[in-house]
Structure 1
Amino acid sequence: MRKTLSQLKKMVQLDEKLVCLTAYDASFAHWIAEAGVDVILVGDSLGMVVQGHATTLPVSLDEMVYHTQMVQRGNHKAWCIADLPFMADATLDSALHAAGRLMKEGGANMVKLEGGQRVLPMVETLSAMGVPVCGHLGLLPQSVEKYGYQVQGKDQTSAERLLEEAAALQTAGAEMLVLECVPSALAAEITANLSIPVIGIGSGKETSGQVLVLHDMLGLTVGKTPKFAQNFLQEGGSIQQALADYVAAVKQGHFPQALHEMA
């Protein structure tokens, strides 16, 4: 039986770290869930690690629905979040349409939107319609052509903006938040200020949990691997053992050991 949102929130209240990992097909979803991963993210990162694109921007809604369907056929234990792809949340109507397809056709349990102030009307409306929403702040992969791949919130002005946007997302109805590549002290402050789970990636260890891209975690990424990633397959010897080691490392607070900020 799959984990529920209330179960995840209870785990956070009991100071148990949440373990999240991306998946894009049924077989990996099965073994990821069997290893004890709490949350599977069907990320538009598939555009880079599966499709071979330079960014996540080319991924379509049809492709996100397709991969979410595959993941949910293999997943019988973890909560599943699906990304709204680039421009799917350009308007309120398009966001409602995309979220509806990801949940009705894809079988997602939750949808994720990138951004702060801009997406608040979408978050509020989706939440009112009964759609669980995960926010995403910090480094925004769908905005890399404008802002690049770099740590966000390093100066006081941008840090205060992220604090305000995180609180606003929660007020609008977001039930979870991903923080990507923000300084560890800021990530800790945002996590402490919110009552919803905060999942970090490249944002230190004081968040409610951690997420990695599957291919980064297995050392299979073609090209440059993020500095904050760790190759668990190198020591595990098998994919199943690597997954188990990742789960244990997050649960026990051994990963991440320290924040390695991106250049």
Structure 2
Amino acid sequence: MKKFFLTNVLLLSMFFIKTSEAQSYTNLGDVQTDERAFYTMTKQMSQFMSRFNYEEDQYGTKISPESPDYRDRMKRKTVLPLLFDMDNPRTNGSLRDFFIADLTEKDANYFEFLGGKWYSEVSATFKMNGEKVDISMIFTIEQENLGSKWVLTNVYFSDFSKLFPKGDIAEQQKHFLHPMSHELDFMNIYKIFKTPESIEYYASNTYSPDYLSIFFYEVKCGNLVFEKVNSEKFHVFQIDNWYFEVSWFNREGLNTGWLISNLVFLKDDEKEELLKFYQPNINK
């Protein structure tokens, strides 16, 4: 009986030791997985740029500009696919492969911080006349003296857009001042103010609404009060014949952080109209 008892105790001890070992290995595996996920995550936009250009590898190791591996085209090909949202068919297929092949065909098409034509879109909540509203603010990097800074270039707010609805051509052509109005001391000028909702039709054909100035005015008057930032993403037009968005993905796994969330093949001459939304005075 005593021998039987000792045997059971020994077996139980072995079971607990094995269980503890298994738990230790599992915990060690979790730590290793978490550590790998931490290093592979693209944690900052500057890190995204470095990996995009292969100035840093996929594990966060910086590559010296003197190293032959710096911006190496073949190694860049292995890192670029990791910078795409792999859950999105649009950024995980043939278009992505075409983009990578185009990028690495020659030593060009790098993403430069001061290269221009890339924008941050910041979605924020404001209070307007006591009600919460969402406004998107567009920023770009501007060089100044020996440094640089983020500057506001445009805003999108649906209420501002409603102030300037695009009527059809026939409707617009009804609103004009006769070319001889000056000979009558502009007695017919009352027409402009008779229909205030259409006042912009009396402006030049080259006129376009300046939403940023309206935004500044409403803030200065106290009608718009900032509350909080909701989200941020980036729009990049810098690469020849391409446009892509970079968004933040906070999730488990190795495909996390700042990743390409949208990709469009866009000829440079087609970019001009689109760029006017992000930076209306870009050609001035």
- TM, length-normalised to structure 2: 0.22
Give the greater-gyration-radius structure (CA).
2
The higher relative CO (CA closer than 8 Å, separation ≥ 6) is in: 2
Q: Which has the higher strand share?
A: 2
